[in-house]
Structure 1
Amino acid sequence: MKKTATIALLFLLLPFFSFAQTGSISGTAINGDTKEPIMFGNVIIDGTGQGVSTDMDGKYKLANLESGTYTIKFSYLGLKDKLVENVEVKAGETTLVNVKMSEDPVVLELGATISAERITNTESAILSMKKESTAVLDGVSAKEISKSGDSDAAAAIKRVSGVTIEGGKYVYVRGLGDRYSKTTLNGADIPGLDPNKNTVQMDLFSTNLLDNILVYKTFTPNLPGDFTGGYIDIVTKNFPSKFTVDASASMSYNTQATFNQNFLTQQKSSTDWLGFDNGTRALPASVGNSTSIPHLQSNTASNFNAEEAQKLVDMTGSFNNTWQQIRQSVPFNHNFSFGIGNRFKFDNQSELGIIGALSYTRNYSFYENGTYGIYQLTGLYDNVNTLTSNLALSDTKGVDDVLWGGMINIAYKIKATHTFNFMVMHNQSATTTTRYLEGTKDDDKDELFQTQSSRFLQRGLTTFQLGGKHTFLKLKNIQVNWKSSYARSTQKDPDLRYFTSRYNADYDIYRIKPSSDRTPSRFYRNMAQGNWSNKIDFTLPLMHWSNHVKEKIKLKTGFAHATKDRSFQENRYSFENQQINYNGDLNAYFDPSNLIATTEGGGYANNGNGVYIENALDSANIYDASQSLYAGYAMIELPLINGLNLVTGARIEYTSVRLKTYSYKVLTAYPELDGKQNILSNLDILPAISLNYAPTKKMKIRAAYSRTLARPSFRELAPFTSFDVEGGYAFVGNPNLERTITDNADLRWEFYPTNKELISVSAFYKNFTNPIERTFNPKALNPELTYRNVDHAFLAGIELELRKNLGFLTPALEDLQIGANFSYIYSQTTIDEQELTAVRAEYPAAPSTREMYGQSPYSLNALLSYKNDSLGFSANVVFNVSGPKISFISTGGTPNTYVQPRPSLNFNISKRIVKGFSIKFAVNNILMSPYRESIKFKGQSYDVSYYEPGMNVSLGIKYNFEKQ
């Protein structure tokens, strides 16, 4: 470990020894006609592609250039390119080159305009978008993602100020997640893949397919109204300005998984490596989706039915015997990506752009040093000093993750005023999780409690998008943007196997104990959802009535329609036994010779002794749900004076949610659900107003108020009971949930010293009416989670962000940059009345409020980055940590479970070896901080879940070609 850190430090410091042998070129670019500085102009060393952009004062600097003579090319949209030849660079000196650029004298066809594709995948581009946005906006670019070494969108987005990740995939913005955050792909709705969550799983998107990820933290009427914490837009790669090819490959070594002969896994299908099962795990055809599994009867029963007996035998024997877990070695983690793009120009002033990209990642993770426990307050809070252990287990877990994605993006532009775009993308993921736990249950020291689970979770998301952007010059330059999108997601959880047993070491006896433990079971879950969304936006720019105001007034309006349709089904089958002993060998226990059988006479053989199946559900857990949304908005961007803009307007949304359940038990309790009735129908007016003031070109002050909403998810509304195998509790939906209304206030100060630097301070406050909170049902006999509306909640916080080049300290640090962001958040929500009654029965002094579920009180990201273009070398150190957050709401007076802080430190270096080729070395999770969920009670900490993940060391190669 120390050797790795030493080598990494040497690589980081190596470029500093080159400073004395290099020089630089700097200066200012201005418009020769207007005398104004040229912001974000291109300054390139001719023939190399190496260059920089000018800042907001028109200044630039080309650093770390070897001694010699150069030709510098200056270019900017609408201005004539300028070449400055024979620029001499001397070691240790800075050559000054100031330029004046004139307007391009090209004569255009009547009605034509000059336009260019905006670069969106760099840090400078993100800062520029933040500054120009009418909303409070943050984001992370493809270039920044490359620095951090993140492989999926979930890992990348946590670098954004105020953003944390739950469970490796669910985004929390400003302490709010699930229903309070919204995720889109290129501005269009996409479905979630988890039936129990009201959000998109961000780990499904490979960073190799992305240009940037934008996070809108305030609402404006042209945005969807169903977000409160943040509106996240995943932006895919756009086509390049010229022919390009990108390819990369890498391998990584995980210190706990790679080549470990004890890696825990399971029997697999031949297509698991592609992210889907080939049918090996499918529910047997003889069982189908039947809920009428015959019951085992005595041969002498008066109503004995030989046909039904044979049916039960056939159904039981049709399941594959794949219970036994496997120990075997696994190879390196590996990643591959390929992208190609080009732009074609035609004589009729039209252009065609196309880009295709494909990526594949497979990662293995493993631990066998984990612990898992369940603790409970027994008695009154004031009378006990310790919690009772209900479960204390050692934990071993192996995970095999596959993620691949592909996309094609095509755009056609006509005379720079009309653009049509078509994009298709597919993302596929599979997670194979194999887990084994053993220890004591309920302080039973005589027997060893053993439990294991084998799961294959398959997810897929396919998206089609068609859109256009149009400027009508003869209609006062009115702009029209439209998009139509269809996305379909599937999640299959085939053949989740769960087996629990006991072992008495004194007598060397195994047994299955259904009276207190879960019966061996197999789960089959399938979910499919389709999202169809259409929207159109109109923008009319108008001259300001005052000649003293330079900016134009913008009137905006638009309409949107979106539908969601989901189907969900869950089946569970328990494997009972009659007079059959278990000896610790799963293959033998489920061998055909141990299963029930029938005789030629039609009765059960051996008096019906053997293993047989039962339907473990009262009726099939099936529901269909749909949501329709109609929306319209009107807003104005009004410059009051130069530098002071008012943005105000309102959005109207009408939503209808319908639910149909096929469970007789549910229909008995909620007869109004029969016939797919409307269970949620709302018409909401969502106002927004903001003031954006720019006292200087480098500074901006924002103040905003808005009203937004949050709707319950389909699963939260569906009132059937499902079982969480890993959590050990039942989950029941609530069809009486109402949507949440939130009032938001924001204040932000931004300062941009250069086009790559930022200092910002933000404050925000959110007030919730009828917030939806996760709670336990105190009336249930067994642990049962549900959701209820509570009266009130609020959240407040501050955010600080800094991006600064260290060249102001000394020229030797010109290539070194630091970045950091910090968030502090405080929240408070009312505890559900029924839950509070149950809590105070054991803890009379318990408060009536708590922080919101999943909300971290703080988060910190930090980056130290070094980049030397002339050497083709870069190095980055990235740090991340977030504060403790509630992961589980406990019953009674038992304190809630919290995920504890887990600092993360990553390091990577990249070096160009020859033109177009570079290599990258990275070390992730250097600190190897343990994952810990724990309960704090009277000064003691009780670990609910604890494990130590491994460190990843990777080496990769990248190829990039751009046609000059």
Structure 2
Amino acid sequence: MKLKFLLFTLLLSSFCFAQKATVSGLILDKEYDNEPLAFANVMLKGTSQGTSTDENGKYSLSVSAGNYTLVVGFLGYKTVEIPFTVKANEKKVINYTLETEGVMLEDIVLTATVTQESVKALLQEQQKSVEIKQSIGAEEISNKGISDVAAAVTKTTGITKQEGSGSIYVRGLGDRYNSTTMNGLPLPSNNPSRKNINLEIFSTDIVEYIGIDKTYNYKNYGDFAGANIDIVSKNYKGDGSLEVGTGMGANSNAVQQNKFFLQDGPSFLGFSNEPIPNDPLSGYNFSTSWDKQASTPVNSSFYIRGGDSYSFGDYSKISFFLNASFDNGYTYKEGVRRGSVNVQGLAIKNLNRKAYEYQTNSNAMANINYRINENHNIRINSMLINSATQKHEEFNGIIDANGSAQNGGGFIRRSTFDKTYLLVNQLLGDHKFGERTKFDWGLSYNTLTNVIPDRMQNTIVPFLYDDPSSRLVASDVNPSDNQRYYQEMTDDEIAGNFNLSYKFGKSENGDYKGKLIAGYSARYKEINFDATQINLAVTRSNFASQPTVDLNNLDGYFNQANLDANFFSLKTFRGDITNANALTPQNFNGQQIISAGFGAIEYQFTPKLYVIGAFRSEFIIQDIDYDTSLKQGKNKFDTMEYLPSLSAKYELNEKQNLKLAASKTYTLPQFKERAPFLYEEVGQSYFGNPFLYNSTDYNFDLKWEYFPKGGEVISLTGFGKYIQNPINEVTVASATNDISWVNSGEKAVGIGAELEIRKDIFSFEGSNDKKTNISSGLNVSYLHTNQDLDSEKVKKETNGLGVAFTNSNSRLTGASDLLVNADVSLNKSFSADQSLTATLSGAYFSDRIYALGVTGKGDLVDSDVIALDFILKFRLNKNLGFGLSAKNLTDPTIERKQNIQNVVVDSYKKGRNFSFSMKYSF
């Protein structure tokens, strides 16, 4: 009986299998001499069944017998529909050669598609583009285990990240020279002293790819000299899916501490916002404790994401993508912190630092795409981010070599909770009117709130300043030595882009050789910054009777009883409760309006030569008014900028291009750089310069690129920058070594070269979907910069600000001479649903200047760093996957020196990070 049943089953299976048929073929690219077209989309119309061509242009679909329409398309190419009939067990072959919709000139702002997540598709896009561009997609981000956008962009040529922040340096040019957009629309900054938003707060879960334009694109705003980073959010297409994932990990430094300390108040999820107490000057009304709280330093993460799409009618389709995630992390740093280093090399402040940090990031995104028909498409994108950092720092040692704790024994504790809430709303559309005219547009409204609620700082010193063994008391040197600080910054921005293009010059074969583009973009930004600092000023006249302070029980001193006893008083910089304006916060308010029009001509002069000539003009208004402890007043300026640009591509052959780009741009100062507000850190203070003005930038690039095969590239780029009136961070000539920003000289020049190699080392394809591939990547960037420094120019332009530069010329601040990124990856498929990926990646950047030195003092220089990461991912089946990561394996010492005096002013190790993750797809 069992044998009969087995035979029946085999016969039934054979019958069912025989009813299946196969349709396969080869898709070619007419514009590239009928070369195979990789990653073209091949779908069966009216169904969810489809695939993409491989790197050799081949595709294959298994279908049942019947009548179908094959839909073949690719970004920038004419979509074709091919009706066909297939019989049971038949092997149908359908080949086709796709043509472009017009000229082979790509639009600069790309429309996201599923295939643009892969390395091969992005490299193919780079090859076809006239502009010099670079991208990193979701595939590469996943393989390298990258969790945030800041880390992702540093894997590309010529880009590094500033330690301790999400700010990036592009070819040695820092935050002020770069710009950040999402889907082509601007994003606000979450830090009042920064132009760009911290890229670390963007989880790579929401990214389809990140476009990096290191040459100027006329559709972007002209405040540019380094790069524009465009985060392209996921645009879901395909069948419905749902994926959940979780992970846990630890930092080697954090777990070695007997106790991990944080301040009282902030929550685990990072959504806290402790308000200023009612009547904070009338009594001791603070509800949170000064005493530190113990925590368990285990990192964790969780995400859920999914999407679906629905077709109706012949061409209409609606799709959506949803993502929600939360992750946190603990780190511990220990090292030296020195400040006010004089010409003789003596550090007035000489402290040992312990820093406990806890970070959270919550992210939610909803993306809806509605394809009305083949000519009209609307997209809505909304994203909510809540990012928080909690830092508890303790400093021990010499607070003032000429004053308090001059032989050691001093203690400073500073606990800071910094939270950013960002809401991004975007509406985008693209429309085609006939075969010649296309209209693209985008609108955005972004609102951001950054708060530092209830920052706590204590300064405790020996009662006898020169005797570290004497009893400890609260410092009476400065009213702000013990303080509570509350800060809030809001940034609201409305922006819009509108772009109309028209093709002309139709050739004999039906293609268009040229395109005219006209457009308009505008952005309106309002910034409001408020800060209130309540000083617990120790009473100097009562210093002799001050009670002893227990470092483990600061609440035992800072309380209502000691306030009543007049051991300390409550006041702001404006005064105590007797001053009606005492609680009026320090503030600055800014308004920025940019209105821009642009036009361009794209033309194919020969079968190999493509040129884009463009011109953009911008009218800029930047107003700021301020009322701070340093100054009260207003500062306004407006300017008109005229920005020509040129891009050209010459195809040496079907695999090699020569590209050129030249442009004029500008660099605006930021609001906090112009606001005379004093921001104090332990060992370093900053204040703004209201006399700052914009720089003018001239940019030139020449690039050769070679694409041996799909997924491989070898390129060499030479580039140059000429900057008039560059803005630099500078150490002001003062006893406290404060840092400000100035137009430091007449000009700065930067020249350099970049090399990128991405190559397969070994590739093998066996039977039953068994594949093995080993690939490697290397990118190297060398940069030489030089700028003249003119103290008299600065003094004249700033009404006497003292910046007696130590040197008459210097490198640009933030500029590393040498940047190197390298990686090697193993991708092995054991079956269609089981695979393993392992990636080892390393990075290096050489010394770079943090701030310029004055009055014989050396520059503050960040020392070189080598980092190494290892990522392992294993997909057990089509549903379940696991991951292991080990990051910062070299654990280098992060160090900042004052170079002439050769004094280390900041030093620590970040520790190694280890994590385990798991995901399940439904």
- Scaled by the length of structure 1, what TM-score is found? 0.81
1:817 aligns with 2:815: no
* Aligned 1:515-594 pairs, distance under 5 A: 515=477, 519-544=481-506, 547=508, 552-578=513-539, 579=542, 580-584=546-550, 585-594=553-562
Structure 2 residue matching 1:802: 3-state secondary structure: strand
Aligned-pair CA distance for 1:728: 2.5
What is the aligned partner in structure 1 of residue 890 from structure 2? 927
Aligned-pair CA distance for 1:924: 1.1
What is the aligned partner in structure 2 of residue 425 from structure 1? 383
* Aligned 1:651-690 pairs, distance under 5 A: 651-663=616-628, 666-667=631-632, 670=633, 673=634, 679-690=636-647
Distance, in Å, in 2 between the alignment partners of 1:799 and 1:559 is: 33
8 Å Cα contact 1:860-1:882 kept in structure 2: yes
1:953 aligns with 2:914: yes
1:285 aligns with 2:278: yes
* Aligned 1:458-469 pairs, distance under 5 A: 458-469=419-430
Distance, in Å, in 2 between the alignment partners of 1:574 and 1:154 is: 36
Distance, in Å, in 2 between the alignment partners of 1:116 and 1:492 is: 34
1:40 aligns with 2:35: no
CA deviation digits over 1:138-181, x for unaligned, max 9? 12111111122121111111101111111330021111122210
1:514 aligns with 2:476: yes
Structure 1 residue matching 2:548: 3-state secondary structure: coil
**Count of residues in Structure 1 that have an aligned counterpart in Structure 2:** 836
1:135 aligns with 2:89: no
Aligned-pair CA distance for 1:349: 2.8
CA deviation digits over 1:482-516, x for unaligned, max 9? 11100011110111111111237775411234337
CA deviation digits over 1:663-690, x for unaligned, max 9? 59634xx5xx2xxx6x121111100112
* Aligned 1:151-300 pairs, distance under 5 A: 151-166=147-162, 167-258=164-255, 260-269=257-266, 272-277=267-272, 279=273, 281-287=274-280
> 1:101 is matched with which residue: 88, 95, 111?
95
> 2:413 is matched with which residue: 438, 452, 456?
452
CA deviation digits over 1:253-312, x for unaligned, max 9? 22222374321211124xx223221x5x3111224xxxxxxxxxxxxxxxxxxxxxxxx5
> 2:749 is matched with which residue: 794, 800, 805?
794
Aligned-pair CA distance for 1:434: 0.1
What is the Cα-based RMSD across aligned positions, in Å?
A: 3.4
Aligned-pair CA distance for 1:251: 0.8
8 Å Cα contact 1:38-1:54 kept in structure 2: no
8 Å Cα contact 1:482-1:537 kept in structure 2: yes
Aligned-pair CA distance for 1:698: 1.3
What is the aligned partner in structure 2 of residue 435 from structure 1? 393
Structure 1 residue matching 2:254: 3-state secondary structure: coil
Aligned-pair CA distance for 1:201: 0.9
Q: In 2 relative to 1, CA 614–951 (structure 1 residues): closer, same or farther, beyond 3 Å?
A: same
8 Å Cα contact 1:643-1:695 kept in structure 2: yes
Structure 1 residue matching 2:605: 3-state secondary structure: strand
Aligned-pair CA distance for 1:594: 1.2
1:623 aligns with 2:584: no
| Letter aligned with residue 247 of structure 1 | V
Structure 2 residue matching 1:175: 3-state secondary structure: coil
Structure 2 residue matching 1:320: 3-state secondary structure: coil
What is the aligned partner in structure 1 of residue 451 from structure 2? 492
Q: In 2 relative to 1, CA 74–915 (structure 1 residues): closer, same or farther, beyond 3 Å?
A: farther
Distance, in Å, in 2 between the alignment partners of 1:549 and 1:794 is: 46
Aligned-pair CA distance for 1:329: 4.2
8 Å Cα contact 1:81-1:101 kept in structure 2: no
8 Å Cα contact 1:798-1:823 kept in structure 2: yes
CA deviation digits over 1:689-713, x for unaligned, max 9? 1221112221111012110111111
**Residue ranges of structure 1 left out of the alignment (5+ in a row):** 1-26, 63-72, 88-96, 105-114, 288-311, 380-386, 597-605
Distance, in Å, in 1 between the alignment partners of 2:29 and 2:427 is: 42
What is the aligned partner in structure 1 of residue 365 from structure 2? 407
> 2:707 is matched with which residue: 747, 752, 757?
752
Structure 2 residue matching 1:119: 3-state secondary structure: helix
CA deviation digits over 1:96-120, x for unaligned, max 9? x99661489xxxxxxxxxx994522
Distance, in Å, in 1 between the alignment partners of 2:709 and 2:195 is: 39
* Deviates further, 875-884 or 500-509: 500-509
> 1:393 is matched with which residue: 345, 351, 354?
351
Aligned-pair CA distance for 1:586: 1.0
Distance, in Å, in 2 between the alignment partners of 1:331 and 1:664 is: 39
Q: In 2 relative to 1, CA 477–45 (structure 1 residues): closer, same or farther, beyond 3 Å?
A: closer
> 2:328 is matched with which residue: 362, 375, 399?
362
Aligned-pair CA distance for 1:777: 3.4
What is the aligned partner in structure 1 of residue 21 from structure 2? none
- Scaled by the length of structure 2, what TM-score is found? 0.84
Distance, in Å, in 2 between the alignment partners of 1:724 and 1:53 is: 58
CA deviation digits over 1:883-933, x for unaligned, max 9? 111223344211112111221111111112232111111111111222111
Structure 1 residue matching 2:271: 3-state secondary structure: coil
Distance, in Å, in 2 between the alignment partners of 1:808 and 1:481 is: 41
1:723 aligns with 2:723: no
Distance, in Å, in 2 between the alignment partners of 1:467 and 1:942 is: 53
* Aligned 1:139-150 pairs, distance under 5 A: 139-150=135-146
CA deviation digits over 1:436-458, x for unaligned, max 9? 01012455664412111001001
Aligned-pair CA distance for 1:521: 1.4
Bigger relative CO (Cα 8 Å, ≥ 6 apart)? 1
8 Å Cα contact 2:650-2:658 kept in structure 1: yes
> 1:317 is matched with which residue: 284, 301, 315?
284
* Deviates further, 411-420 or 572-581: 572-581
Distance, in Å, in 2 between the alignment partners of 1:758 and 1:146 is: 20
Distance, in Å, in 1 between the alignment partners of 2:626 and 2:29 is: 71
Distance, in Å, in 2 between the alignment partners of 1:833 and 1:555 is: 48
What is the aligned partner in structure 2 of residue 332 from structure 1? 298
Aligned-pair CA distance for 1:837: 9.6
What is the aligned partner in structure 2 of residue 638 from structure 1? 603
8 Å Cα contact 2:439-2:499 kept in structure 1: yes
Q: In 2 relative to 1, CA 620–126 (structure 1 residues): closer, same or farther, beyond 3 Å?
A: same
Distance, in Å, in 1 between the alignment partners of 2:870 and 2:353 is: 29
What is the aligned partner in structure 2 of residue 296 from structure 1? none
> 1:880 is matched with which residue: 843, 856, 863?
843
Structure 1 residue matching 2:443: 3-state secondary structure: strand
